[in-house]
């Protein structure tokens, strides 16, 4: 009887053992699948984190390249010096014209002595106008070369291929120049001629002191009439470039700025802002594929003008 009972119970034990083995097998399969999913998720996380890291790095590179170009724009305070000389030359022409007019009225015989002084002042104004355009062109050329050189130093450090990320070599897409929005020239108003001062204030050629009584009164930059004189010498061009003025003896350093603050500068005036755009091809390699062409823009302003002497 016992043997019959044992034989009768044997199939039940076999089924139970089979079920236990199947349960262990299913659990092992489920664990493997979960582990595989976790690995893929982790790699996808690395992929997207790497995209974020690469984008930040590209932005830093763009800012660095723009800053290298911006530093060259006002190298040795050349823009600031041209602005200062232009305003002083403007006053010299105005003064020479007044001297000639007074000489003709009071001492007509001395006209031949006053005329050469006016002619010399006018020639100086024309020379300065040509020099401003030459300096503007030279500043852009040197800044472009500095930006290209800095880009060449950086671009070779980008390309890499990882299981979860592929990064190409960046491309220098755009180089632009401009000025800082709402920043006028670096030259404070020169007083001494009442009529000229009133003219500059009436034509709004200087900043409005009523907005801030403590603010410096500066000549405006890139004006439509180029600070022309209210005399027969109105044919002369006294255009000024936009450049930060020193405040309390402190010169503004070259610095990274927001792209929205850059405005186009007038042709013939020296720029005070450098802008660069970089393109970079980036793709994720595992899981959900993402990527494409990244573009970042860096903008930097040049060093402010030196202290006037």
DSSP code per residue over 135-192: HHHHHHHHHHHHHHHHHHHHHTTT-EEETTEEE---EEEEEEEEEETT---SPBPP-S
Q: List the one residue out of 106, 109, 265, 257 whose CA is nearest residue 185.
A: 265
178 sits in which H/E element: strand 171-180
**How far is Cα 40 from Cα 288, in angstroms, rounded to an integer?**
10
Q: How far is CA 58 from CA 145, 147, 150, 247, in A?
A: 20, 15, 13, 34
**How far is Cα 231 from Cα 239, in angstroms, rounded to an integer?**
17
**What is the torsion angle, in degrees rounded to the nearest 10, for the CA atoms of residue 42, residue 46, residue 52 and residue 55?**
-160
User: If pLDDT is split at 50, 70 and 90, which confidence band does 216 have?
Assistant: confident
Q: Residue 55 corresponds to which tokens in the numbers above? A: 């984008």
pTM above 0.75, yes or no: yes
Instruction: Say what the pLDDT of residue 205 is.
Output: 93
User: What's the pLDDT tens digit per position in 172-188?
Assistant: 999 999 999 989 999 99
User: If pLDDT is split at 50, 70 and 90, which confidence band does 160 have?
Assistant: confident
DSSP 8-state assignment for residue 251: P
User: If pLDDT is split at 50, 70 and 90, which confidence band does 167 have?
Assistant: confident
Token pair 């000389």 is at which residue?
85
Nearest-5° angle of CA 179, CA 83, CA 306?
Answer: 85
Q: Residue 70 corresponds to which tokens in the numbers above? A: 């911006």
DSSP 8-state assignment for residue 258: -
Dihedral of alpha carbons 264, 267, 71, 83, sign: negative
User: If pLDDT is split at 50, 70 and 90, which confidence band does 24 have?
Assistant: low
Instruction: Say what the pLDDT of residue 26 is.
Output: 61
Q: Which of 7-16, 26-35, 191-200 has the highest mean pLDDT?
A: 191-200
User: What's the pLDDT tens digit per position in 238-282?
Assistant: 999 999 999 888 999 999 999 999 999 999 999 999 999 999 998
| Mean pLDDT of the chain, nearest integer | 85
Instruction: Say what the pLDDT of residue 1 is.
Output: 47
Paired strand residues for 282: 167, 292
């Amino acid at each position: 009887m016992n043997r019959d009972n044992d034989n009768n119970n044997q199939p039940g034990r076999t089924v139970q053992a089979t079920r236990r083995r199947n349960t262990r097998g299913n659990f092992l399969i489920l664990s493997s699948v979960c582990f595989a999913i976790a690995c893929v998720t982790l790699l996808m996380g690395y992929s997207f984190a790497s995209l974020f890291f690469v984008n930040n790095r590209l932005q830093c590179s763009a800012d660095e390249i723009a800053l290298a170009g911006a530093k060259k724009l006002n190298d040795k305070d050349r823009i600031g010096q041209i602005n200062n000389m232009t305003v002083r030359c403007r006053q010299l022409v105005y003064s020479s014209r007044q001297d000639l007019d007074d000489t003709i009225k009071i001492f007509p015989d001395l006209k031949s002595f006053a005329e050469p002084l006016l002619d010399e002042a006018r020639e100086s104004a024309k020379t300065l106008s040509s020099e401003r355009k030459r300096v503007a062109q030279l500043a852009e050329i040197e800044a472009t070369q500095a930006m290209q050189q800095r880009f060449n130093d950086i671009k070779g450090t980008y390309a890499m291929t990882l299981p979860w990320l592929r990064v190409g070599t960046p491309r220098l897409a755009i180089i632009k120049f401009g000025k800082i929005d709402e920043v006028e020239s670096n030259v404070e108003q020169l007083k001494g001629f009442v009529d000229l001062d009133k003219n500059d204030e009436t034509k709004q050629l200087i900043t409005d002191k009523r907005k801030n009584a403590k603010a410096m009164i500066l000549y405006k930059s890139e004006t439509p009439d180029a600070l022309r004189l209210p005399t027969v010498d109105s044919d002369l061009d006294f255009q000024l470039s936009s450049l930060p003025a020193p405040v309390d003896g402190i010169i503004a350093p070259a610095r990274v700025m927001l792209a929205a603050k850059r405005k186009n500068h007038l042709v013939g005036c020296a720029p005070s802002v450098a802008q660069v755009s970089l393109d970079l091809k980036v793709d994720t390699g595992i899981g959900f594929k993402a990527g494409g062409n990244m573009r970042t823009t860096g903008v930097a302003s040049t060093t402010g003008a030196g202290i006037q002497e």
